Structure 1
Protein backbone atom coordinates (compact mmCIF):
# COMPACT_ATOMS: atom_id res chain seq x y z
CA UNK A 1 0.00 0.00 0.00
CA UNK A 2 1.38 3.40 -0.94
CA UNK A 3 0.59 6.73 0.64
CA UNK A 4 0.35 9.82 -1.53
CA UNK A 5 0.91 12.26 1.33
CA UNK A 6 4.13 12.03 3.38
CA UNK A 7 3.60 11.30 7.03
CA UNK A 8 4.71 13.97 9.50
CA UNK A 9 7.39 13.46 12.08
CA UNK A 10 6.19 11.79 15.27
CA UNK A 11 4.25 14.17 17.47
CA UNK A 12 4.34 13.97 21.22
CA UNK A 13 0.99 14.31 22.95
CA UNK A 14 -0.13 17.92 23.34
CA UNK A 15 -1.97 17.09 26.56
CA UNK A 16 0.18 17.91 29.58
CA UNK A 17 0.57 15.07 32.04
CA UNK A 18 0.46 16.11 35.68
CA UNK A 19 2.87 14.01 37.72
CA UNK A 20 0.46 14.15 40.64
CA UNK A 21 -2.33 12.59 38.56
CA UNK A 22 -1.36 9.08 37.40
CA UNK A 23 -4.37 8.77 35.16
CA UNK A 24 -6.80 11.11 33.47
CA UNK A 25 -10.54 10.64 33.95
CA UNK A 26 -13.17 11.28 31.30
CA UNK A 27 -16.91 10.73 30.87
CA UNK A 28 -19.26 10.38 27.95
CA UNK A 29 -21.14 13.39 26.63
CA UNK A 30 -24.79 12.51 27.35
CA UNK A 31 -26.31 12.07 23.88
CA UNK A 32 -28.27 8.78 23.73
CA UNK A 33 -31.73 7.70 24.78
CA UNK A 34 -33.17 9.87 27.56
CA UNK A 35 -30.08 12.11 27.36
CA UNK A 36 -30.62 13.00 23.67
CA UNK A 37 -31.84 16.47 24.56
CA UNK A 38 -29.43 19.34 23.76
CA UNK A 39 -30.34 21.45 26.80
CA UNK A 40 -30.13 18.52 29.21
CA UNK A 41 -26.88 17.35 27.67
CA UNK A 42 -25.26 20.79 27.81
CA UNK A 43 -26.20 21.20 31.47
CA UNK A 44 -24.75 17.78 32.30
CA UNK A 45 -21.51 18.60 30.46
CA UNK A 46 -21.13 21.72 32.58
CA UNK A 47 -21.86 19.73 35.74
CA UNK A 48 -19.36 17.00 34.80
CA UNK A 49 -16.65 19.60 34.32
CA UNK A 50 -17.49 20.95 37.78
CA UNK A 51 -17.11 17.42 39.22
CA UNK A 52 -13.46 17.68 38.17
CA UNK A 53 -13.09 15.33 35.21
CA UNK A 54 -10.40 15.85 32.57
CA UNK A 55 -12.33 15.13 29.39
CA UNK A 56 -15.71 14.54 27.74
CA UNK A 57 -16.25 12.24 24.75
CA UNK A 58 -18.98 11.77 22.15
CA UNK A 59 -19.84 8.49 20.45
CA UNK A 60 -21.09 7.85 16.92
CA UNK A 61 -24.18 5.75 16.24
CA UNK A 62 -26.23 6.21 13.09
CA UNK A 63 -29.02 3.69 13.58
CA UNK A 64 -30.13 0.76 15.71
CA UNK A 65 -31.44 -2.18 13.65
CA UNK A 66 -34.52 -3.90 15.04
CA UNK A 67 -32.85 -7.21 14.29
CA UNK A 68 -29.43 -7.50 15.94
CA UNK A 69 -26.58 -7.12 13.43
CA UNK A 70 -24.52 -10.16 12.50
CA UNK A 71 -21.78 -10.70 15.06
CA UNK A 72 -23.39 -8.57 17.77
CA UNK A 73 -22.75 -10.50 20.97
CA UNK A 74 -25.40 -8.95 23.18
CA UNK A 75 -28.56 -10.05 21.40
CA UNK A 76 -30.75 -7.09 20.44
CA UNK A 77 -28.97 -3.75 20.56
CA UNK A 78 -29.86 -1.38 23.41
CA UNK A 79 -33.06 0.45 22.50
CA UNK A 80 -31.64 3.84 23.43
CA UNK A 81 -29.04 3.63 20.65
CA UNK A 82 -31.94 4.38 18.30
CA UNK A 83 -32.23 7.89 19.81
CA UNK A 84 -29.08 9.95 19.48
CA UNK A 85 -27.58 13.38 18.91
CA UNK A 86 -25.12 13.99 16.08
CA UNK A 87 -21.63 13.54 17.56
CA UNK A 88 -19.95 16.58 16.00
CA UNK A 89 -22.81 18.91 16.84
CA UNK A 90 -22.95 17.45 20.36
CA UNK A 91 -19.23 18.11 20.69
CA UNK A 92 -19.74 21.73 19.65
CA UNK A 93 -22.49 22.01 22.25
CA UNK A 94 -20.15 20.54 24.89
CA UNK A 95 -17.46 23.03 23.88
CA UNK A 96 -19.81 25.94 24.49
CA UNK A 97 -20.95 24.50 27.84
CA UNK A 98 -17.43 24.00 29.25
CA UNK A 99 -14.20 25.93 29.67
CA UNK A 100 -11.45 23.50 30.67
CA UNK A 101 -12.01 19.85 29.78
CA UNK A 102 -10.58 18.21 26.69
CA UNK A 103 -13.25 17.23 24.16
CA UNK A 104 -13.00 14.09 22.07
CA UNK A 105 -14.76 11.44 20.02
CA UNK A 106 -14.69 7.79 20.98
CA UNK A 107 -15.09 6.94 18.31
CA UNK A 108 -16.16 8.96 15.31
CA UNK A 109 -16.65 6.83 12.24
CA UNK A 110 -14.08 8.30 9.90
CA UNK A 111 -15.48 6.94 6.66
CA UNK A 112 -19.04 8.23 6.39
CA UNK A 113 -18.05 11.57 4.85
CA UNK A 114 -15.27 12.78 2.54
CA UNK A 115 -12.10 13.55 4.51
CA UNK A 116 -11.91 17.16 3.33
CA UNK A 117 -15.42 17.76 4.74
CA UNK A 118 -14.41 15.97 7.94
CA UNK A 119 -11.25 18.10 8.21
CA UNK A 120 -13.30 21.29 7.93
CA UNK A 121 -15.70 20.20 10.68
CA UNK A 122 -12.90 19.12 13.02
CA UNK A 123 -10.95 22.32 12.42
CA UNK A 124 -14.04 24.34 13.30
CA UNK A 125 -14.52 22.33 16.50
CA UNK A 126 -10.91 22.88 17.51
CA UNK A 127 -11.34 26.63 17.05
CA UNK A 128 -14.70 26.73 18.86
CA UNK A 129 -13.24 24.81 21.82
CA UNK A 130 -10.11 26.93 22.09
CA UNK A 131 -7.81 24.08 21.06
CA UNK A 132 -9.30 21.36 23.28
CA UNK A 133 -10.18 18.81 20.59
CA UNK A 134 -9.15 15.14 20.61
CA UNK A 135 -9.88 13.44 17.28
CA UNK A 136 -10.79 9.82 17.95
CA UNK A 137 -11.48 7.87 14.75
CA UNK A 138 -12.56 4.33 14.03
CA UNK A 139 -13.95 2.09 11.32
CA UNK A 140 -17.16 1.08 13.04
CA UNK A 141 -18.40 -2.49 12.97
CA UNK A 142 -21.98 -2.44 11.68
CA UNK A 143 -22.58 -3.22 8.00
CA UNK A 144 -26.08 -1.71 8.19
CA UNK A 145 -24.61 1.73 8.86
CA UNK A 146 -22.29 1.45 5.88
CA UNK A 147 -25.18 0.38 3.67
CA UNK A 148 -27.24 3.36 4.87
CA UNK A 149 -24.45 5.83 4.04
CA UNK A 150 -23.55 4.25 0.71
CA UNK A 151 -19.95 3.64 1.80
CA UNK A 152 -18.38 0.31 0.76
CA UNK A 153 -17.73 -2.17 3.55
CA UNK A 154 -14.75 -3.66 1.76
CA UNK A 155 -11.53 -1.68 1.72
CA UNK A 156 -12.20 0.14 5.00
CA UNK A 157 -8.58 -0.01 6.13
CA UNK A 158 -7.28 1.58 2.94
CA UNK A 159 -10.02 4.20 3.08
CA UNK A 160 -9.00 5.11 6.64
CA UNK A 161 -5.33 5.37 5.63
CA UNK A 162 -6.17 7.84 2.88
CA UNK A 163 -8.53 9.74 5.19
CA UNK A 164 -5.61 10.22 7.59
CA UNK A 165 -3.43 11.35 4.68
CA UNK A 166 -5.94 14.05 3.79
CA UNK A 167 -6.38 15.24 7.38
CA UNK A 168 -2.62 15.57 7.79
CA UNK A 169 -2.29 17.42 4.47
CA UNK A 170 -5.08 19.88 5.26
CA UNK A 171 -3.82 20.63 8.75
CA UNK A 172 -0.12 20.75 8.00
CA UNK A 173 0.24 22.73 4.77
CA UNK A 174 -0.86 26.22 3.79
CA UNK A 175 -1.34 24.98 0.22
CA UNK A 176 -3.17 21.66 0.14
CA UNK A 177 -2.97 19.08 -2.64
CA UNK A 178 -3.77 15.37 -2.63
CA UNK A 179 -4.00 12.70 -5.32
CA UNK A 180 -5.02 9.27 -4.07
CA UNK A 181 -7.01 6.22 -5.11
CA UNK A 182 -10.25 7.58 -3.63
CA UNK A 183 -10.00 11.37 -3.50
CA UNK A 184 -8.29 14.14 -5.44
CA UNK A 185 -7.82 17.64 -4.07
CA UNK A 186 -6.54 20.21 -6.53
CA UNK A 187 -3.83 22.51 -5.20
CA UNK A 188 -5.89 24.78 -3.00
CA UNK A 189 -6.02 27.11 -0.06
CA UNK A 190 -7.87 25.53 2.86
CA UNK A 191 -8.14 27.92 5.80
CA UNK A 192 -8.36 28.41 8.71
CA UNK A 193 -6.07 25.89 10.34
CA UNK A 194 -6.75 24.30 13.74
CA UNK A 195 -5.59 26.16 16.81
CA UNK A 196 -3.52 23.12 17.83
CA UNK A 197 -0.48 22.74 15.63
CA UNK A 198 0.29 20.78 13.56
CA UNK A 199 -3.27 19.61 14.23
CA UNK A 200 -5.45 18.07 16.94
CA UNK A 201 -4.19 14.75 18.34
CA UNK A 202 -5.46 11.76 16.37
CA UNK A 203 -6.32 8.63 18.33
CA UNK A 204 -7.49 5.48 16.56
CA UNK A 205 -9.84 2.79 17.81
CA UNK A 206 -9.87 -0.91 17.04
CA UNK A 207 -9.06 -4.29 18.53
CA UNK A 208 -7.37 -6.18 15.71
CA UNK A 209 -3.69 -6.58 14.92
CA UNK A 210 -4.12 -4.34 11.87
CA UNK A 211 -5.75 -1.60 13.97
CA UNK A 212 -3.00 -1.66 16.61
CA UNK A 213 -0.30 -1.70 13.94
CA UNK A 214 -1.83 1.46 12.47
CA UNK A 215 -1.88 3.07 15.92
CA UNK A 216 1.80 2.37 16.43
CA UNK A 217 2.78 3.47 12.94
CA UNK A 218 0.96 6.77 12.59
CA UNK A 219 -1.43 7.78 15.39
CA UNK A 220 -1.00 9.84 18.54
CA UNK A 221 -2.68 7.15 20.62
CA UNK A 222 -5.21 4.34 20.97
CA UNK A 223 -8.88 4.37 21.93
CA UNK A 224 -9.06 1.05 23.76
CA UNK A 225 -11.48 -0.45 26.23
CA UNK A 226 -11.55 -2.09 29.62
CA UNK A 227 -10.64 -5.73 28.99
CA UNK A 228 -8.85 -8.66 30.64
CA UNK A 229 -5.19 -7.78 31.20
CA UNK A 230 -3.62 -10.59 29.13
CA UNK A 231 -5.71 -9.60 26.10
CA UNK A 232 -4.83 -5.94 26.59
CA UNK A 233 -1.09 -6.60 26.84
CA UNK A 234 -1.06 -8.80 23.77
CA UNK A 235 -2.85 -6.12 21.76
CA UNK A 236 -0.68 -3.29 23.01
CA UNK A 237 2.51 -5.16 22.15
CA UNK A 238 1.47 -4.94 18.49
CA UNK A 239 1.33 -1.14 18.67
CA UNK A 240 4.66 -0.97 20.52
CA UNK A 241 6.42 -3.11 17.92
CA UNK A 242 4.89 -1.12 15.04
CA UNK A 243 6.01 2.17 16.60
CA UNK A 244 9.55 0.88 17.02
CA UNK A 245 9.69 -0.31 13.40
CA UNK A 246 8.54 3.15 12.30
CA UNK A 247 11.25 4.82 14.37
CA UNK A 248 8.80 6.25 16.88
CA UNK A 249 8.92 6.21 20.66
CA UNK A 250 6.10 3.96 21.95
CA UNK A 251 6.17 5.85 25.25
CA UNK A 252 4.73 8.85 23.41
CA UNK A 253 1.55 7.01 22.47
CA UNK A 254 -1.50 7.83 24.57
CA UNK A 255 -4.10 5.28 25.66
CA UNK A 256 -7.76 5.86 26.53
CA UNK A 257 -9.69 2.94 28.02
CA UNK A 258 -13.47 3.04 27.66
CA UNK A 259 -15.81 1.22 30.02
CA UNK A 260 -19.58 0.90 29.74
CA UNK A 261 -20.05 -0.31 33.32
CA UNK A 262 -22.75 -2.57 34.62
CA UNK A 263 -22.72 -1.42 38.24
CA UNK A 264 -23.90 -4.00 40.77
CA UNK A 265 -24.60 -3.70 44.50
CA UNK A 266 -22.54 -6.79 45.26
CA UNK A 267 -19.25 -7.92 43.80
CA UNK A 268 -19.11 -9.57 40.39
CA UNK A 269 -17.37 -12.94 39.88
CA UNK A 270 -13.64 -12.87 39.21
CA UNK A 271 -12.91 -12.29 35.57
CA UNK A 272 -15.86 -9.94 34.98
CA UNK A 273 -14.43 -6.86 36.72
CA UNK A 274 -13.48 -5.25 33.42
CA UNK A 275 -17.18 -4.67 32.62
CA UNK A 276 -19.36 -5.28 35.67
CA UNK A 277 -19.28 -5.24 39.46
CA UNK A 278 -19.19 -2.62 42.17
CA UNK A 279 -17.76 0.78 41.37
CA UNK A 280 -14.64 -0.14 43.34
CA UNK A 281 -14.19 -3.42 41.46
CA UNK A 282 -14.48 -1.75 38.08
CA UNK A 283 -12.16 1.09 39.08
CA UNK A 284 -9.55 -1.28 40.51
CA UNK A 285 -9.41 -3.06 37.17
CA UNK A 286 -9.11 0.25 35.29
CA UNK A 287 -6.25 1.26 37.58
CA UNK A 288 -4.48 -1.99 36.78
CA UNK A 289 -4.66 -1.13 33.06
CA UNK A 290 -3.38 2.43 33.50
CA UNK A 291 0.30 1.58 33.75
CA UNK A 292 1.77 4.64 32.01
CA UNK A 293 1.63 8.34 32.94
CA UNK A 294 -1.13 10.03 31.01
CA UNK A 295 -3.25 6.91 30.57
CA UNK A 296 -6.91 7.85 30.59
CA UNK A 297 -10.19 6.15 31.41
CA UNK A 298 -13.50 6.98 29.75
CA UNK A 299 -16.57 6.04 31.77
CA UNK A 300 -19.73 5.89 29.66
CA UNK A 301 -22.78 5.93 31.92
CA UNK A 302 -25.48 6.29 29.27
CA UNK A 303 -26.49 2.63 29.39
CA UNK A 304 -26.06 2.48 33.17
CA UNK A 305 -28.46 5.17 34.41
CA UNK A 306 -31.61 6.93 33.20
CA UNK A 307 -31.73 10.26 35.04
CA UNK A 308 -29.40 13.24 35.30
CA UNK A 309 -29.14 13.12 39.08
CA UNK A 310 -28.01 9.50 39.16
CA UNK A 311 -25.65 10.17 36.24
CA UNK A 312 -23.85 12.86 38.24
CA UNK A 313 -23.90 10.89 41.50
CA UNK A 314 -22.36 7.86 39.83
CA UNK A 315 -19.83 10.03 38.00
CA UNK A 316 -18.75 11.45 41.36
CA UNK A 317 -18.38 7.90 42.74
CA UNK A 318 -16.12 6.92 39.84
CA UNK A 319 -14.12 10.14 40.25
CA UNK A 320 -13.55 9.42 43.95
CA UNK A 321 -12.43 5.84 43.34
CA UNK A 322 -10.19 6.63 40.37
CA UNK A 323 -8.59 9.80 41.67
Structure 2
Protein backbone atom coordinates (compact mmCIF):
# COMPACT_ATOMS: atom_id res chain seq x y z
CA UNK A 1 0.00 0.00 0.00
CA UNK A 2 1.92 3.02 -1.32
CA UNK A 3 0.40 6.15 0.23
CA UNK A 4 3.03 8.56 -1.12
CA UNK A 5 2.82 10.76 1.97
CA UNK A 6 6.20 12.23 1.00
CA UNK A 7 4.51 13.91 -1.98
CA UNK A 8 2.03 16.06 -0.05
CA UNK A 9 3.87 19.22 -1.05
CA UNK A 10 3.87 18.21 -4.70
CA UNK A 11 0.16 17.48 -4.68
CA UNK A 12 -0.62 20.81 -2.99
CA UNK A 13 1.53 22.81 -5.41
CA UNK A 14 0.16 21.15 -8.53
CA UNK A 15 -3.45 21.23 -7.29
CA UNK A 16 -3.11 24.98 -6.85
CA UNK A 17 -1.88 25.16 -10.43
CA UNK A 18 -4.98 23.27 -11.56
CA UNK A 19 -7.17 25.88 -9.87
CA UNK A 20 -8.04 24.31 -6.52
CA UNK A 21 -9.50 26.90 -4.17
CA UNK A 22 -8.87 24.89 -1.02
CA UNK A 23 -6.87 21.92 0.28
CA UNK A 24 -8.10 19.74 3.14
CA UNK A 25 -6.75 17.24 5.66
CA UNK A 26 -8.44 14.75 7.96
CA UNK A 27 -7.44 13.45 11.38
CA UNK A 28 -6.86 9.82 12.37
CA UNK A 29 -4.55 8.03 14.78
CA UNK A 30 -5.45 4.35 14.34
CA UNK A 31 -7.79 1.91 12.63
CA UNK A 32 -8.73 -0.85 15.06
CA UNK A 33 -8.55 -4.42 13.73
CA UNK A 34 -11.81 -5.19 15.53
CA UNK A 35 -13.39 -1.76 16.02
CA UNK A 36 -15.98 -1.04 18.67
CA UNK A 37 -17.78 1.00 16.00
CA UNK A 38 -17.31 0.39 12.29
CA UNK A 39 -16.92 3.22 9.84
CA UNK A 40 -20.22 4.94 9.19
CA UNK A 41 -21.71 3.49 12.38
CA UNK A 42 -22.39 0.10 10.82
CA UNK A 43 -20.54 -3.15 10.46
CA UNK A 44 -17.34 -4.17 12.18
CA UNK A 45 -14.66 -2.90 9.84
CA UNK A 46 -12.80 0.20 8.77
CA UNK A 47 -11.82 0.81 5.12
CA UNK A 48 -8.21 0.02 4.29
CA UNK A 49 -7.70 3.60 3.14
CA UNK A 50 -7.99 4.67 6.79
CA UNK A 51 -5.18 2.44 8.04
CA UNK A 52 -2.59 5.18 7.70
CA UNK A 53 -2.78 8.95 8.03
CA UNK A 54 -0.21 11.73 8.10
CA UNK A 55 -0.28 14.15 11.02
CA UNK A 56 -2.66 16.91 9.84
CA UNK A 57 -0.38 19.72 10.98
CA UNK A 58 2.55 18.26 9.07
CA UNK A 59 0.40 18.05 5.94
CA UNK A 60 -0.96 21.58 6.35
CA UNK A 61 2.50 23.02 6.96
CA UNK A 62 3.85 21.29 3.84
CA UNK A 63 0.96 22.66 1.79
CA UNK A 64 1.33 26.15 3.25
CA UNK A 65 5.01 26.25 2.31
CA UNK A 66 4.45 25.62 -1.40
CA UNK A 67 1.16 27.41 -2.13
CA UNK A 68 -0.06 31.01 -2.10
CA UNK A 69 -3.81 31.05 -2.67
CA UNK A 70 -5.83 27.99 -1.59
CA UNK A 71 -7.54 27.91 1.77
CA UNK A 72 -6.12 25.23 4.08
CA UNK A 73 -8.83 23.36 5.95
CA UNK A 74 -9.33 20.54 8.42
CA UNK A 75 -12.22 18.16 7.93
CA UNK A 76 -12.41 17.17 10.52
CA UNK A 77 -9.86 17.82 13.27
CA UNK A 78 -10.85 15.82 16.37
CA UNK A 79 -10.43 18.64 18.87
CA UNK A 80 -11.04 16.67 22.11
CA UNK A 81 -7.90 14.59 21.49
CA UNK A 82 -5.63 17.62 21.96
CA UNK A 83 -4.67 19.77 24.95
CA UNK A 84 -6.35 23.03 23.90
CA UNK A 85 -3.27 25.22 24.36
CA UNK A 86 -1.25 22.98 22.05
CA UNK A 87 -4.09 22.87 19.54
CA UNK A 88 -4.29 26.67 19.60
CA UNK A 89 -0.55 26.90 19.00
CA UNK A 90 -0.62 24.46 16.08
CA UNK A 91 -3.59 26.12 14.38
CA UNK A 92 -2.15 29.59 14.94
CA UNK A 93 1.10 28.42 13.38
CA UNK A 94 -0.66 27.16 10.27
CA UNK A 95 -2.52 30.46 9.91
CA UNK A 96 0.70 32.43 10.33
CA UNK A 97 2.85 30.46 7.87
CA UNK A 98 0.02 30.39 5.31
CA UNK A 99 -0.57 34.15 5.72
CA UNK A 100 -4.14 33.78 6.91
CA UNK A 101 -5.56 30.85 4.94
CA UNK A 102 -6.66 28.48 7.73
CA UNK A 103 -10.21 27.15 8.01
CA UNK A 104 -10.53 25.23 11.29
CA UNK A 105 -13.08 22.45 10.89
CA UNK A 106 -13.53 20.77 14.27
CA UNK A 107 -15.57 17.84 15.53
CA UNK A 108 -15.67 14.93 17.94
CA UNK A 109 -15.18 12.03 15.53
CA UNK A 110 -16.86 8.64 15.59
CA UNK A 111 -14.31 6.12 16.88
CA UNK A 112 -14.21 5.16 20.58
CA UNK A 113 -11.06 3.16 19.82
CA UNK A 114 -9.17 6.28 18.82
CA UNK A 115 -10.23 8.02 22.03
CA UNK A 116 -8.88 5.05 23.96
CA UNK A 117 -5.65 5.32 22.00
CA UNK A 118 -5.08 8.97 22.92
CA UNK A 119 -6.18 8.52 26.54
CA UNK A 120 -9.31 10.69 26.38
CA UNK A 121 -12.65 9.35 27.68
CA UNK A 122 -15.16 8.92 24.87
CA UNK A 123 -18.03 10.11 27.08
CA UNK A 124 -16.31 13.45 27.68
CA UNK A 125 -15.96 14.35 24.00
CA UNK A 126 -18.71 16.98 23.86
CA UNK A 127 -17.67 18.75 27.06
CA UNK A 128 -14.04 18.72 25.99
CA UNK A 129 -14.91 20.24 22.62
CA UNK A 130 -16.82 23.03 24.35
CA UNK A 131 -13.87 23.74 26.63
CA UNK A 132 -11.52 23.66 23.67
CA UNK A 133 -13.62 26.28 21.89
CA UNK A 134 -13.43 28.48 25.00
CA UNK A 135 -9.64 28.19 25.04
CA UNK A 136 -9.23 28.85 21.32
CA UNK A 137 -11.36 31.99 21.56
CA UNK A 138 -9.38 33.26 24.53
CA UNK A 139 -5.93 32.46 23.14
CA UNK A 140 -6.67 33.83 19.69
CA UNK A 141 -8.39 37.08 20.68
CA UNK A 142 -6.84 38.35 23.95
CA UNK A 143 -3.38 39.29 25.21
CA UNK A 144 -2.55 38.58 27.91
CA UNK A 145 -4.78 35.52 27.90
CA UNK A 146 -6.90 35.32 31.05
CA UNK A 147 -6.50 32.47 33.50
CA UNK A 148 -8.47 29.36 32.63
CA UNK A 149 -9.77 26.88 35.19
CA UNK A 150 -11.85 24.37 33.31
CA UNK A 151 -13.13 20.91 34.05
CA UNK A 152 -10.32 19.30 32.07
CA UNK A 153 -7.62 21.95 31.57
CA UNK A 154 -6.14 24.91 33.44
CA UNK A 155 -3.46 27.51 32.81
CA UNK A 156 -2.46 30.86 34.35
CA UNK A 157 -2.92 34.30 32.83
CA UNK A 158 -0.21 34.52 30.20
CA UNK A 159 1.09 36.02 27.00
CA UNK A 160 0.55 33.43 24.25
CA UNK A 161 1.79 34.41 20.81
CA UNK A 162 1.90 34.61 17.84
CA UNK A 163 -1.75 35.26 17.20
CA UNK A 164 -3.34 34.08 13.97
CA UNK A 165 -3.13 36.41 11.00
CA UNK A 166 -6.91 36.39 10.54
CA UNK A 167 -8.82 38.77 12.79
CA UNK A 168 -10.49 38.44 15.14
CA UNK A 169 -9.69 34.74 14.63
CA UNK A 170 -9.69 32.07 11.93
CA UNK A 171 -13.12 30.80 10.92
CA UNK A 172 -14.31 27.80 12.92
CA UNK A 173 -16.64 25.27 11.33
CA UNK A 174 -18.22 22.47 13.34
CA UNK A 175 -19.82 19.15 12.58
CA UNK A 176 -23.57 19.33 13.06
CA UNK A 177 -25.01 15.85 12.62
CA UNK A 178 -26.72 15.47 16.01
CA UNK A 179 -29.08 17.81 17.91
CA UNK A 180 -26.34 18.57 20.47
CA UNK A 181 -23.78 19.38 17.79
CA UNK A 182 -26.31 21.56 15.95
CA UNK A 183 -26.94 23.55 19.13
CA UNK A 184 -23.21 23.97 19.62
CA UNK A 185 -22.73 25.15 16.06
CA UNK A 186 -25.61 27.58 16.40
CA UNK A 187 -23.98 29.14 19.46
CA UNK A 188 -20.36 29.13 18.44
CA UNK A 189 -19.53 28.34 14.84
CA UNK A 190 -19.02 30.34 11.69
CA UNK A 191 -20.57 27.43 9.83
CA UNK A 192 -21.25 23.73 9.63
CA UNK A 193 -19.66 20.93 7.62
CA UNK A 194 -22.25 18.61 6.05
CA UNK A 195 -21.09 15.54 4.14
CA UNK A 196 -22.55 14.27 0.86
CA UNK A 197 -22.09 10.60 0.07
CA UNK A 198 -22.06 10.29 -3.73
CA UNK A 199 -22.30 6.88 -5.41
CA UNK A 200 -21.98 5.86 -9.06
CA UNK A 201 -24.98 7.24 -10.89
CA UNK A 202 -25.52 10.10 -8.44
CA UNK A 203 -28.53 10.29 -6.12
CA UNK A 204 -27.29 13.14 -3.92
CA UNK A 205 -30.07 15.34 -2.46
CA UNK A 206 -28.80 18.87 -1.71
CA UNK A 207 -31.93 19.77 0.24
CA UNK A 208 -31.65 16.89 2.68
CA UNK A 209 -27.87 16.95 3.02
CA UNK A 210 -27.16 20.68 3.01
CA UNK A 211 -30.16 22.97 3.15
CA UNK A 212 -32.18 21.24 5.86
CA UNK A 213 -29.41 21.03 8.49
CA UNK A 214 -28.17 24.51 7.63
CA UNK A 215 -31.65 25.97 8.04
CA UNK A 216 -32.04 24.18 11.35
CA UNK A 217 -28.75 25.53 12.69
CA UNK A 218 -29.65 29.01 11.49
CA UNK A 219 -32.99 28.83 13.31
CA UNK A 220 -31.15 27.82 16.47
CA UNK A 221 -28.63 30.62 15.95
CA UNK A 222 -31.43 33.16 15.70
CA UNK A 223 -32.80 31.87 19.00
CA UNK A 224 -29.34 32.57 20.46
CA UNK A 225 -29.60 36.19 19.25
CA UNK A 226 -27.15 35.61 16.43
CA UNK A 227 -27.71 36.75 12.88
CA UNK A 228 -28.55 33.50 11.07
CA UNK A 229 -26.81 34.84 7.98
CA UNK A 230 -23.54 34.63 9.92
CA UNK A 231 -23.75 30.82 9.86
CA UNK A 232 -22.55 29.27 6.61
CA UNK A 233 -21.58 25.81 5.42
CA UNK A 234 -18.76 24.06 3.60
CA UNK A 235 -19.71 20.79 1.97
CA UNK A 236 -17.44 17.75 1.86
CA UNK A 237 -18.27 15.35 -0.96
CA UNK A 238 -17.31 11.73 -0.29
CA UNK A 239 -17.55 9.76 -3.54
CA UNK A 240 -17.73 5.98 -3.33
CA UNK A 241 -15.28 3.82 -5.24
CA UNK A 242 -16.11 3.78 -8.93
CA UNK A 243 -17.93 7.12 -8.97
CA UNK A 244 -17.34 8.94 -12.24
CA UNK A 245 -15.98 12.50 -12.31
CA UNK A 246 -19.19 13.57 -14.02
CA UNK A 247 -21.28 12.38 -11.05
CA UNK A 248 -19.00 14.23 -8.64
CA UNK A 249 -19.14 17.38 -10.72
CA UNK A 250 -22.93 17.12 -10.82
CA UNK A 251 -23.01 17.08 -7.01
CA UNK A 252 -20.81 20.18 -6.88
CA UNK A 253 -22.91 22.04 -9.43
CA UNK A 254 -26.21 21.07 -7.82
CA UNK A 255 -24.90 22.35 -4.49
CA UNK A 256 -24.03 25.66 -6.14
CA UNK A 257 -27.36 25.94 -7.94
CA UNK A 258 -29.78 24.55 -5.33
CA UNK A 259 -28.33 25.85 -2.06
CA UNK A 260 -26.68 29.04 -0.84
CA UNK A 261 -23.46 27.18 -0.10
CA UNK A 262 -20.62 28.38 -2.31
CA UNK A 263 -17.76 26.21 -1.05
CA UNK A 264 -17.45 22.47 -1.57
CA UNK A 265 -14.51 20.10 -1.73
CA UNK A 266 -14.07 16.49 -2.78
CA UNK A 267 -12.42 13.72 -0.75
CA UNK A 268 -10.58 11.57 -3.29
CA UNK A 269 -9.49 8.84 -0.90
CA UNK A 270 -11.82 6.10 -2.19
CA UNK A 271 -11.29 6.88 -5.86
CA UNK A 272 -7.58 6.33 -6.34
CA UNK A 273 -5.00 3.81 -5.21
CA UNK A 274 -3.21 6.55 -3.26
CA UNK A 275 -1.33 7.66 -6.39
CA UNK A 276 -0.45 11.35 -6.56
CA UNK A 277 -0.49 11.27 -10.36
CA UNK A 278 -3.96 9.75 -10.46
CA UNK A 279 -5.21 12.08 -7.73
CA UNK A 280 -4.05 15.14 -9.66
CA UNK A 281 -5.53 13.82 -12.89
CA UNK A 282 -8.89 13.27 -11.20
CA UNK A 283 -8.81 16.62 -9.39
CA UNK A 284 -8.09 18.39 -12.66
CA UNK A 285 -10.96 16.63 -14.39
CA UNK A 286 -13.45 17.55 -11.63
CA UNK A 287 -12.25 21.16 -11.59
CA UNK A 288 -12.64 21.42 -15.37
CA UNK A 289 -16.19 20.04 -15.20
CA UNK A 290 -17.25 22.53 -12.51
CA UNK A 291 -15.82 25.77 -13.89
Query: More helix by proportion, 1 or 2?
Result: 2
Deviation (angstroms), 1:180: 2.1
**Aligned with residue 279 of structure 1, among 239, 245, 253:** 245
Determine the structure 2 residue equivalent to 1:10. none
- 8 Å contact from structure 1 (residues 224, 257) kept in 2: yes
**Aligned with residue 120 of structure 1, among 53, 77, 89:** 89
Determine the structure 2 residue equivalent to 1:161. 130
In the alignment, structure 1 segments of 5+ residues that lack a partner are 1-32, 265-276
Determine the structure 1 residue equivalent to 2:202. none
Distance 1:208 1:173 in 2: 31
Cα distance change on mapping 1:71 and 1:231 into 2, 3 Å? farther
Deviation (angstroms), 1:316: 1.3
Cα distance change on mapping 1:151 and 1:85 into 2, 3 Å? same
**TM-score (normalised: structure 1):** 0.81
Determine the structure 1 residue equivalent to 2:53. 84
Give SS of 1:168's match: helix
What is the 5 A alignment of 1:225-244?
225-226=195-196, 228-232=205-209, 233-244=211-222
User: What is the Cα-based RMSD across aligned positions, in Å?
Assistant: 1.9
Determine the structure 2 residue equivalent to 1:53. 20
Distance 1:200 1:43 in 2: 26
**TM-score (normalised: structure 2):** 0.89
**Aligned with residue 255 of structure 2, among 284, 289, 309:** 289
- 8 Å contact from structure 1 (residues 36, 85) kept in 2: no
What is the 5 A alignment of 1:1-323?
34-38=2-6, 40-72=7-39, 73=42, 76-177=45-146, 178-226=148-196, 228-232=205-209, 233-262=211-240, 264=242, 277-290=243-256, 291-292=258-259, 295-306=262-273, 307-323=275-291
Whose relative contact order is higher, 1 or 2, with alpha carbons under 8 Å and at least 6 apart?
A: 1
Deviation (angstroms), 1:36: 4.3
- 8 Å contact from structure 1 (residues 208, 235) kept in 2: no
Give SS of 1:210's match: helix
Distance 2:49 2:250 in 1: 28
In the alignment, structure 2 segments of 5+ residues that lack a partner are 198-204
Deviation (angstroms), 1:70: 2.1
Distance 1:164 1:239 in 2: 18
